[in-house]
Structure 1
């Protein structure tokens, strides 16, 4: 969850000025706010999330305590591959998240033969990833989706029109699942090189190598 801090600072002589921070993770924002609050010169401190909902320190602390045991701080890399000779598709997803104070990564892929082209495979990979988020119990949280498909990312951002009926149906299917799970999506388009992990999973699926593994990652200080 991303928020920014808004507060009023009062000097010893009674002068006041309002300040607003950069956008931060909720955990970091609370830590900074607690540190600043030790000066004893803050007034009206609160937090605003990306939906412009305002939170008090007590409310934000309560929220973070509640989500600590559920998946949060989620980033999903997705990619779809399509074989023009066999008309088979490979779907790959790498999902990074935190739960119970641990940093985790789920890698999973799937092979399918009911798609017609690469763009469909890319949409199917994103939807396949949403099913994995649903299985993890993700709900009512922001999620960052990272892929190398200009078509999928730009269409879902509303920057490109979706003229093909089959892709329009996929876009509706993706957005309906997002609404069902209460997910607030953040999309990022990257190069294929920066999406190598998901690309490899999709390629392995095409080669009949099934992957499904979750590991704990070393957390950065």
Structure 2
């Protein structure tokens, strides 16, 4: 969860000014405010989240205590591959998240036969990732999605039009699932090289290697 701080600082002579911070992790924002409060000169402290909802110091402390037990700080990498010879598609996703002060990586792939193009496979890989987020219990949080498909990323961002009927159906399916989970997506295009993990999972699916794994990570 990311927030920005807005507060009033008053000097010993009574000169006051209002300051607004850059967006940062809520835990970092709380630590900064706690340090500032030691001066006894901080007033009217308010936190704004990504949806512009306001939080008092007490409310944000409580929220951070509760959120630790749920998956948060979620980042998703997805990729899909399509074989014209077999009409098979390989889907892959890698999900990084934090829960109970521990970092995890979830990897998942799937082999499907009903798709007709690489672009459909890319959309299906993202949908696979969303289904995994649902199983994890991710909800009402910002989530970063990284993919190497310019078509999928730009269409979901509204930068490119979607003329193909099948891709339109996939885009609607993605948006419906995102709304159902209540997550706020941030779609980002990355190079194939930077998406190597998800690409490998998609390739392994096409090779008949099914993978579902969860691993605890060091920071």
TM-score greater than 0.5 by the shorter chain: yes
Corresponding residue number in structure 2 for 1:10 = 10
Q: Does 1:66 align with 2:46?
A: no
Cα distance between partner residues in 1 of 2:211 and 2:140: 27
- What are the superposed Cα offsets for residues 151-209 of structure 1, whole Å, 9 maximum, x if unpaired? 01000100000111110000000000011111111111110101111001000000011
* Offset at residue 23 of structure 1 (A): 0.7
* Secondary structure in structure 1 of the residue aligned to 2:116: coil
Distance 2:150 2:8 in 1: 43
Any idea what the Cα deviations from partners look like across 1:202-221, whole Å, max 9, x if unmatched?
000000111111011001xx
Residue of structure 2 equivalent to 1:104: 104
Deviation at 1:134, TM superposition (A): 0.4
Cα distance, 1:66 vs. partner?
Answer: 1.1
What does residue 160 of structure 2 align with?
A: 160
Please name the residue that 2:26 is paired with. 26
Displacement of 1:144 after TM fit?
0.6
TM-score (norm 2): 0.99
- Farther-moved stretch of structure 1 (71-80 vs 58-67): 58-67
**Are residue 194 (structure 1) and residue 194 (structure 2) matched?**
yes
Q: Residues of 1 paired with 2:99 and 2:30: CA distance?
A: 18
Aligned partner of 2:45 in structure 1 is 45
- Partner Cα distance (1:147, 1:184) in 2: 16
Which is further off, 59-68 or 129-138? 59-68
Structure 2 partner of 1:204: 204
Per the alignment, in what secondary structure is the counterpart of residue 195 of structure 2? helix
State the Cα distance separating 1:90 from its structure 2 match.
0.4
Residue 93 in 1 paired to residue 93 in 2?
yes
**Matched residue of 2:114: which SS?**
coil
Structure 1: 5+ residue stretches without partners: none
Establish whether residue 175 from structure 1 lines up as the match of residue 156 from structure 2.
no
Q: CA deviation at 1:2?
A: 1.2
Say if 2:111 is the partner of 1:126.
Answer: no
User: How far apart in 1 are the matches of 2:198 and 2:91?
Assistant: 8
Alignment RMSD: 0.7
Post-superposition CA distance 1:4-29 (Å, at most 9, x none):
11111001110011111111011111
Cα distance in 1 between the residues matched to 2:38 and 2:46: 15
Distance 1:88 1:197 in 2: 20
Deviation at 1:31, TM superposition (A): 1.0
1:151 — aligned with what? 151
Unaligned runs of 5+ in 2: none
Alpha-carbon distance between aligned partners in 1 of 2:49 and 2:125, rounded to the nearest angstrom: 29
C-alpha separation between the residues in 2 aligned to 1:186 and 1:59? 26
- Aligned mates of 2:53, 2:156 — CA distance in 1: 24
